[in-house]
Amino acid sequence: MADEENLEDKNNLTLLDDMYVKEGNDLVTAYPDMNWQASKLLDLAIANIDKSELTAEAAEKNAGKAIEVTIKKQALFIYFGLDDNSSKSKFSRLKDKLNTAIKDATFDIQKGEGIGSVFLDMTYGTRNTPDVKISLHPKLRPYLAYQKSIGYTRYLVAEEAKLSGAPVFFYKRIVMLYKQYEQYVGSNKRTKEQLDAMLNPYYDIDDLAKAVNKKGKYKRKYDFWRYVVVPMTEEISKITQYNLGAEQVKDRGQLIGVQFHISLKKDHIFDGALLEDEDLDINDDDQVKDTFLKSNYTERLARAGIITTKEMFDTEFERSMLKEVYPLYKRIASIKPEQGDNAVYEHISYIKKYKEEPDSKGNPVKYLKTAAEQYINQLSKPERTKEFQALMNDLVSSGYM
């Protein structure tokens, strides 16, 4: 019974910690015709797809073929809140949940054709089988493959795992809008009004009900507000890294829509991988070099003497900076929108005085990443300035720079 004992090991949350979902924005904003368990199962399945399946080339080659996914049962137990190791019934409960979830789960894509049954097949195996195998509809491929022609949104599986009901559907829309705001704030690519709309989206009541799969379920709009909108904003604010507020919008005394307000919790410890440039192929050496050398951040760091000429032409160094450091600089700019990238330049000037002569044994990427993470925390907690200064000194003395 070794397999069963392995399944009943103590809850290991790291199974979900490193997983994230990456979906095309047309899929994020699609109208779901499925229960929230089905939506969560789909997202976990997407997070477990072999990444080689998610290239534009693979999408073209495998067009019309089902997407085969393998998910560990232990991850499913945690994801669906069935990780009570004292319960022998969790195996049958999981199987029931999965069978319920895969029935009649469809999407209505706003800018394209609808997707029929999302789940084509599921193989649960026996109680001792460690994995579940799921087949997804091939029409999902264009919304999952990493094509530059469409936008994508990434969000954490571990965060979504804690949600249930309407928040499961609305959470990904919130993430999409905030990521778009982070991408464009501090640039000249969007107007102030467009940026404001990303943080304060308006939804017509009927459109919102459709977005969270509650269309036609409440005859009175105030009941929809009371039983769906209010609990939804409270749950997302309590559980996720975002604060979500909502105001009623009325016309002649009648509730016609909801004005939402999105903000990031300042003390949130986030995953920089979720902020990577969606238009950048991090594995394309030529694109990495071109993006790195054209970045204003690179110019500022070089002028400050924080990175060397040799490092600037080291492809692996460039790749690490684009993946681990520059996304954090975007976060700094988004936290201080009135300054944008100028807030990043101030940060670079501040750490310059802690920089000693270039040291080939140092680790500038780790130094800059740690400094940026600590600065982000300090922005919301000014009283931690002394801690931040002490950290800079520790990083220098430890040989990171």
According to the per-residue pLDDT averaged within each range, which of 23-27, 53-57, 173-177, 183-187 is highest? Answer: 173-177
Q: Is the pLDDT of residue 266 over 80?
A: no
Whole-number Å distance between alpha carbons of 343 and 347 = 6
pLDDT band per the 50, 70, 90 thresholds, residue 21: confident
Contact 236, 230 (CB under 8 A): no
279 vs 23 pLDDT, higher one:
23
Q: Please tell me the predicted confidence (pLDDT) of residue 357.
A: 47
Helix 364-380 and helix 385-397: axis angle, to 10°? Answer: 170
Name the one residue in this structure whose structure tokens are 């400094």. 371
Query: Quick check: 241 pLDDT over 80?
Result: yes
- In CATH, the number for domain 1-161 is 1.10.10.10
Side-chain half-sphere CA neighbours of 76 within 13 A = 28
400, pLDDT greater than 50: no
* Cβ–Cβ < 8 Å for 205, 224: yes
* The predicted structure's pLDDT at residue 203: 97
**Contacting residues for 240 by C-beta, under 8 A, at least 6 apart:** 159, 162, 163, 171, 174
H-helix segments, 185-325: 192-199, 205-211, 221-224, 230-239, 285-294, 296-303, 309-312, 315-320
CA atoms of 349 and 260, how far apart (whole Å): 37
> Which distant-in-sequence residues (6+ apart) come within 8 Å of 23 by Cβ?
43, 46, 143, 144, 152, 153, 172
Contact status, residue 30 vs residue 281, Cβ threshold 8 Å: no
Q: Answer yes or no: is pLDDT of 57 > 70.
A: yes
Mean pLDDT of the chain: 80
Per-residue model confidence (pLDDT) at position 356: 52
Give tens-digit pLDDT for 350-367.
888 666 544 444 688 988
Residue ranges, CATH 1.10.10.10, the chain: 1-161, 162-265
Q: Tens of pLDDT along 128-167?
A: 889 999 998 888 887 886 665 567 888 888 888 889 999 9
In words, the CATH class of domain 162-265 is mainly alpha
- Rounded Cα–Cα distance for residues 347 and 342 (Å): 9
> Phi, psi (5° rounding) for residue 258?
-130, 130
